A and B are shown apart, each in its own frame.
Chain A
Amino acid sequence: GQNIDQPTEMTATEGAIVQINCTYQTSGFNGLFWYQQHAGEAPTFLSYNVLDGLEEKGRFSSFLSRSKGYSYLLLKELQMKDSASYLCAVPPRANQAGTALIFGKGTTLSVSS
């Protein structure tokens, strides 16, 4: 089965940097996803890591260590609009095209001025 752990809540101030951690256990690995979800809205895709290392995309970066079952999402130059839930997700099965995502409970980030 799958198990995904993330902190429940984090707080930060505008302009700061925050790192949201995710640990996971899967029966097979087929990549790790991060999604952003504002309250009452749909999840939107942020990043996908399948190889170890850091992937940078603007103010957001995502890191993966497959051997440690660990990922983090790094948000730089925080803005008020970054207040949202950040969802770590993995496919439940490796090597299956189109497999769905299993989501963690999400980390609710509150950015204050």
Chain B
Amino acid sequence: EPEVTQTPSHQVTQMGQEVILRCVPISNHLYFYWYRQILGQKVEFLVSFYNNEISEKSEIFDDQFSVERPDGSNFTLKIRSTKLEDSAMYFCASRTGAEAFFGQGTRLTVV
């Protein structure tokens, strides 16, 4: 069964460093998303991407964040200068129809 894959599963980084989280969406899907979930809190929308551009973004998605689809398969989230409060689980999702399929997430810990 097709699935969304994310790498790495865990990432520890020092405050101020740049991180890139990677996702391979399901191949025939058209819409791609990044969400995050701080431990014990709700799943929060960050950004959606369609037709090689951002279609929506939340207030969380400030200038520190960027997304890219560098080739036909990968979808990346970059955080330029990480802060302690960026520690969270980051989920990538993709869809074509109503159902969004989520990857297993990258747990980012900023120390």
**Chain A interface residues toward B at CB < 8 A:** 31, 33, 37, 41-45, 48, 87, 89, 92-93, 97-106
Knowing A48-B98, A100-B56, say if A106 contacts B50 (CB, 8 Å): no
A17 to chain B, nearest CB (A): 25
Residues of B within 8 A of A (CB): 30-31, 33, 35, 41-45, 48, 50, 55-56, 91, 95, 98-105
Query: Chain B contacts of A33 at CB under 8 A?
Result: 98
Q: Which residue of B lies closest to A93 (CB)?
A: B56
Give Cα A12 to B49, complex, Å. Answer: 40
Task: From A37, A43, A98, give the contact of B50 (CB < 8 A).
Answer: A98
Top 3 A-B residue pairs of the complex, sorted by shortest distance between their CB atoms: A98-B31, A42-B102, A103-B43
C-alpha spacing A87/B104, complex, angstroms:
16
A98 touching B43 by the CB < 8 A rule?
no
Q: How many A-B residue pairs have CB under 8 A?
A: 52
Q: Which residues of A contact B41 (CB under 8 A)?
A: 105
State the majority secondary structure of interface residues on A. loop
Asked if A87 and B43 make an inter-chain contact with CB atoms under 8 angstroms apart, the answer reads: yes
CB–CB B42/A101 < 8 A: no
Contact among A93, A98, A105 with B42 in the assembled complex (CB-CB below 8 Å): A105
Q: Is the CB of B42 within 8 A of A104?
A: yes
- What are 8 A-B contacts defined by CB distance under 8 Å? A43-B91, A45-B101, A97-B31, A98-B31, A98-B48, A98-B50, A99-B48, A100-B48
Complex interface: chain A residues within 8 A of B95 (CB):
98
A103 to B46, CA, bound (A): 12
**Contact flag A98-B55 (CB < 8 Å), given A43-B43, A43-B91:** yes
A89 to B44, CA, bound (A): 11
How long is the Cα–Cα vector from A101 to B75 in the complex, in angstroms? 18
Chain B residues near A89 (CB, 8 Å)? 43
- Looking at A37, A44, A92, A99, the one whose CB has the most chain B CB atoms below 10 A away is A99
A52 to chain B, nearest CB (A): 17
Residues from chain A with a CB closer than 8 A to the CB of B91 are: 42-43
Closest to B30 in A: A98
> Which residues of chain A are near B45, meaning CB under 8 Å?
92, 100-103
